[in-house]
Structures are given as C-alpha cells and as structure tokens.
C-alpha cells in the first residue's frame, strides 16, 4: 500500500500541492488526473525517490520496486538500437556468464509479455508509436516492478494503439497484481480501465469513484 499523509511540496516559494492524504492499495489500477502543472509528475517523482516532499510523508513498502513509462517522445529514424537492444539498456552491466544467461531469459520473458518477440530486431527509429511505447513499457518491467507508473504514456497515440497498450497494462495488472498509477488527460481511458481517480484540484487531491469522474476534470489548463 502507498499512503500519503499531509504531503506538501514546494519549489522555493512556489506551492505545488498541500496536505495530500490518500491511499493506493496493492493491485489497484488508479488514475491520477488534473491540469498541467498541478503536480502529477512531481508526486510520482517523490514516490520514486527523485524528489523530496517538503512536509508530510509518502510511505510504501520499500521492498516494492517501481517501473516508470514516460510520455511518448518520437525517436530519430537513425536511432542506432533495435527494440531488444533498447530494452537491454536498463539491465545492469555484468561480466558474469551466469548473470548474462539469467538476463537473456529475462529479456525473452519480457519480450513475450509485451508482445514484442517478433519485433525485437526492428530498429527503434523505424518502429510505430505503439511499438516504441511497448519498448518503454518492456524497459520498465525489467526490474519486476510491483508498482507501474504510466506518466501520460498514451498521449499522442492513435485511439486503437492506446487501447492495445492499455489492454496489455490491464493484463499485467490482473495476472501479476501490479499496482498501476495511470497519469492521463483521457476521460475514455480512465472510464474504461481504472477503478478510481485521484484528482488534483486547488492544490490538493480529491478521491473520486470512477462513476463520479466527469469530463471537465480533464481540462489541460487549471
Ligand atoms: N525541478 C523543479 N524545479 C522547480 N519547479 C518545478 C520543478 N519540477 C516541477 N516544477 C513546477 O511544479 C509544478 C508541477 O509540475 P509537474 O509536477 O510537472 O506537473 P504535471 O505533471 O501535473 O503537469 C509546475 O509549476 C512546475 O513548473
Ligand atoms: Mg507531468
């Protein structure tokens, strides 16, 4: 379980959010919504230990590992790595043959789980948007995360491609009970895939049941 108690974040004089109180249960598929600049990425950075809260606490079982899938960014056509090589960037380098063997098995497993096995030799620069995002998802899965964060990972993908990626994430959530935190501006995807939303409003967070999620919560500007 992840639990925030009176979590507050400031950058210098700027208050980003104040007194956040919420819980996220293990295995939950939750969305994190709110306008640009409301602090969604900052919150998950605190969770990942990349930023510190100014006040209050954000606690979770420190044995749990976290995978992060960033927002879609295009990659140059002449990017030098293929899909498998790109995923392997997240492996720790080793001279040990036994460890290399384990890594190869892990890569085979992750390629299967993300439906990338037949595409593994494709240069990443020539892959479609959906394939690129699956490659980022595969990278995030390498350290066997119990918590998976999708930070606007479906933005700017076509509707069917978004759904394919989300179906895959849903399968991971259901089969392996990975907790999913889905940051999005997409009303339909929130309705279809998530069980609950944490909604940033007026520098704090509201806990919203999926039936009470409304379209006006998805405005990009605050
Ligand atoms: N490292 C930083 N230093 C100073 N201000 C920051 C930093 N990171 C984010 N901010 C500010 O904090 C606010 C929240 O940003 P962010 O968490 O990225 O919002 P969101 O992900 O909801 O769009 C914004 O006003 C942003 O400019
Ligand atoms: Mg963000």
Ligand nearest to the CA of 45: 1
Q: How many domains does one find in the chain?
A: 1
CATH number of the CATH domain containing 160: 3.40.50.300
> Residue 116 C-alpha to ligand 1 middle, in angstroms?
34
The residue whose two tokens read 């079982």 is: 61
Contact between 71 and 119 under an 8 Å Cβ cutoff? The reply is no
In a domain, 69, yes or no: yes
In a domain, 19, yes or no: no
Q: For the whole model, what pTM was predicted?
A: 0.94
With a CB cutoff of 8 Å and minimum separation 6, the contacts of 62 are none
In Å, what is the CA distance from 68 to each residue of 3, 60, 114? Answer: 19, 16, 15
Q: How confident is the model at residue 95 (pLDDT cuts 50, 70, 90)?
A: confident
57 is in which domain, residue-wise? 2-8+30-185+192-218
In a domain, 14, yes or no: no
In a domain, 48, yes or no: yes
pLDDT above 80 (res 213): yes
Higher-pLDDT residue of 219 and 170 is 170
Which atom of ligand 1 is nearest the CA belonging to 36? 23
pLDDT attached to residue 42? 97
In a domain, 21, yes or no: no
In a domain, 89, yes or no: yes
pLDDT attached to residue 74? 83
Which atom of ligand 1 is nearest the CA belonging to 34? 22
In this predicted model, what pLDDT tens digit does every residue of 60-86 receive, in sequence order? 998 899 999 998 888 899 999 999 999
pLDDT above 80 (res 123): yes
Q: Is 191 in the pocket of ligand 1 (CB under 6 A)?
A: no
Q: Whose CA is nearest to atom 16 of ligand 1?
A: 39
Which atom of ligand 1 is nearest the CA belonging to 151? 21
In this predicted model, what pLDDT tens digit does every residue of 7-24 receive, in sequence order? 999 999 999 999 999 999
In a domain, 118, yes or no: yes
Return the best residue to mutate from 11, 14, 151, 222 for the ligand 1 pocket (most ligand atoms within 8 A of CB): 11
Q: Is 184 in the pocket of ligand 1 (CB under 6 A)?
A: no
In a domain, 22, yes or no: no
């Amino acid at each position: 379980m992840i639990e925030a108690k009176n979590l507050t974040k400031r950058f210098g004089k700027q208050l980003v959010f104040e007194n956040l109180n919420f819980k996220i249960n293990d295995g939950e598929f939750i969305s994190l919504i709110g306008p640009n600049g409301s602090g969604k990425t900052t919150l998950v950075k605190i969770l990942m230990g990349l930023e510190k809260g100014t006040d209050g606490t954000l606690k979770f079982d420190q044995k749990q590992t976290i995978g992060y899938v960033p927002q879609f960014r295009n990659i140059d056509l002449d990017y030098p790595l293929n899909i498998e090589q790109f995923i392997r960037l997240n492996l720790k380098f080793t001279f040990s043959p036994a460890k290399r063997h384990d890594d190869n098995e892990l890569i085979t497993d992750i390629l299967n789980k993300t439906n990338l096995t037949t595409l593994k030799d494709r240069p990443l620069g020539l892959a479609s948007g959906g394939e690129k995002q699956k490659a980022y998802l595969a990278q995030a899965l390498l350290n066997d995360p119990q918590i998976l964060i999708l930070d606007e990972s479906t933005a700017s993908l076509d509707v069917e491609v978004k759904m394919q990626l989300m179906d895959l994430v849903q399968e991971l959530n259901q089969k392996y009970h990975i907790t999913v935190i889905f940051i999005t501006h997409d009303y339909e995807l929130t309705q279809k895939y998530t069980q609950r939303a944490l909604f940033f409003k007026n520098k704090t967070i509201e806990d919203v049941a999926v039936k009470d999620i409304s379209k006006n919560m998805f405005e990009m500007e605050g």
